[in-house]
Amino acid sequence: MTNTLNGAPLLVVGAGIMGVGIAQVAAQAGHAVMLYDSREGAAAEAKEKLARLLEGLLAKGKLTAEGVTQTLSRIESISSLDAAASVRLVVEAIVEKLDVKRGLFGQLEAIVAADCVLATNTSSISVTAIANGLRHPGRLVGMHFFNPVPLMKLVEVVAGLQTDPAVAAAIFELSKVWGKVPVHARSTPGFIVNRIARPYYAETLALLLEQAATPAVLDACLRAAGFRMGPCELMDLIGHDTNFSVTQSVYEANFFDKRFVPSLVQRQLVDGGLLGRKSGHGFFDYPDGAAKPAIATVESIPPPTAQLLRVHGQGPLADRFVAALVKTGQPFLRHEGSDWLGLEVDGSQLRMTDGRTASELGLEVAVFDRPLSAENDITLAWAPSLRASQAWTSAATLWLGAFGFKPQRIADAPGLVVARTLAMLINEAADAVQQGVCTPDGANAAMKLGVNYPAGPFEWLAGWNTTAVVQVLDALDSFYRGERYRVSPWLRQQSYQEGGNEPQN
């Protein structure tokens, strides 16, 4: 089989948004590229469009004149697949339909040599299923680029059941030569990124269904955790129809596992044609120049004095509380060995969430979300117990302000916003690793490069604590009862291995 595809002549089938991007990247890496589209004239039009785009980049000084000429001279639009008999690699980026893709590859097998590698850019169809019926199914592999192809670094190299490991390895190496960061994936629903990312949307949609918080507040909380876009604005950008259909396809492909169940909230947006930016309305409105809705913030005034203040737990957050208390001049005690993290004020508790609701934890209790940044003034969700007094409810928010947060009160939902979302992202990534879909490093790279996450799921896990993550998930599971929050066996075993049967923060 092929040892290297570097510089090999290749064919890109499908001259749409992805195909043209792939052709551009391959030509820039020095390949002679043929571009074919079944719609007459589409490949030639696409090449002209690419020429205008590259000239625009030249005008901005991002490309040289020689680079533009060379790239364009390497791309040839062809009007019959027969012209591509001598290529050594085909990358398919046609319509997302199994029977059409199978038909194309069957047709190609009659044209190209037996050792020509066949790659599909499918984002949701099983690579194993596409290969079914081929004479040489071992040569078919997924080469999943992200949009826009020239800018997005990630390539998921997806192996189906019959993919020859040497073929996957050759595509992996080629992707690197093209300046990409490839990650090996096994062909399972959603591959890596589209699977692990589901909870980012799903947890926010679940909180919206319960009316626990508004879209603007949920977005602010997750942006404060380092995400470039909150889930609501991101779904508005992707388009609710697209996002809903990916969720639905992952759900169906997993035999309707309740873990992946789509949301009624999104269903309603789709049914109503509120598709997001492209239709002008989604969670937010998008008339020209419209500003995002602002969220109300609480004025920061010093908290009331107390008879007994005690900082519970240890670590950077406890240290932050201690430093803030020193500044207030109020005397306080410490209980480093406590089984919770936060502040005790005359018997009332302000606790970082361990997954349980404040109401589950007691009377005069308020819980706050897991802060991911040491910065001041980050938005942080919090909730008082339904049984808390008005006095403690008011004091709790002032204390959070005194510790440098911008507190956002939401309903008393288990795991609040960030802790719950991150725990679920980690859980999904853990299942993917357990099922051999990817390695922890692969999951980290894929999520950072494919969807611009500020960190990978296993990096969050390393900065947290496996037992604490399992606790959050178990609390969600026992609160909601259902399949959605069941803990990944990988994560649970890992927590036993770390000896973590003790409560953790």
Place of tokens 């879209």: 215
Residue 39 contacts ligand NAI per CB under 6 A: yes
Q: Which stretch binds ligand NAI (CB under 6 A): 13-21, 281-289, 375-383, 456-464?
A: 13-21
Place of tokens 């803990």: 487
Q: Token pair of 66, please? A: 């020689």
Query: CB neighbours (10 Å) of residue 493?
Result: 14
d(CA 399, CA 480): 30
Catalytic residue among 121, 175, 187, 194: 194
Give 97's DSSP letter: -
156 is catalytic: yes
Q: Are 345 and 395 in contact (CB under 8 A)?
A: yes
31 is catalytic: no
359 is catalytic: no
Residue 49 contacts ligand NAI per CB under 6 A: no
Residue 257 contacts ligand NAI per CB under 6 A: no
Q: Are 16 and 43 in contact (CB under 8 A)?
A: no
Q: Token pair of 108, please? A: 């190609």
Least Å from the CB of residue 134 to ligand NAI: 16
Place of tokens 């990978």: 456
Q: CA torsion, points 462, 464, 468, 474, in degrees to nearest 10?
A: -80
Least Å from the CB of residue 39 to ligand NAI: 4
Residue 22 contacts ligand NAI per CB under 6 A: no
Catalytic residue among 77, 121, 123, 187: 123
3-state secondary structure of 460: helix
Least Å from the CB of residue 85 to ligand NAI: 17
Residues 132-171 that bind ligand NAI (CB under 6 A): 145-147
Residue 119 contacts ligand NAI per CB under 6 A: no
d(CA 22, CA 27): 9
For residues 110 and 386, which CB has a smaller minimum distance to ligand NAI in the complex? 110
144 is catalytic: yes
d(CA 125, CA 105): 14
For residues 236 and 369, which CB has a smaller minimum distance to ligand NAI in the complex? 236
Catalytic residue among 156, 203, 344, 459: 156
* Contact with ligand NAI (CB under 6 A) among 27, 42, 130, 212: 42
Catalytic residue among 76, 77, 126, 144: 144
Alpha helix (H) ranges present in 164-295? 165-177, 193-196, 198-209, 215-224, 231-238, 240-253, 264-271
Residues 70-99 that bind ligand NAI (CB under 6 A): 93-96
Residue 14 contacts ligand NAI per CB under 6 A: yes
Residue 110 contacts ligand NAI per CB under 6 A: no
Indicate which residues carry an active-site annotation: 123, 144, 156, 194
| Interface positions with ligand NAI (CB under 6 A) | 13-19, 37-39, 42, 93-96, 100, 104, 121-123, 145-147
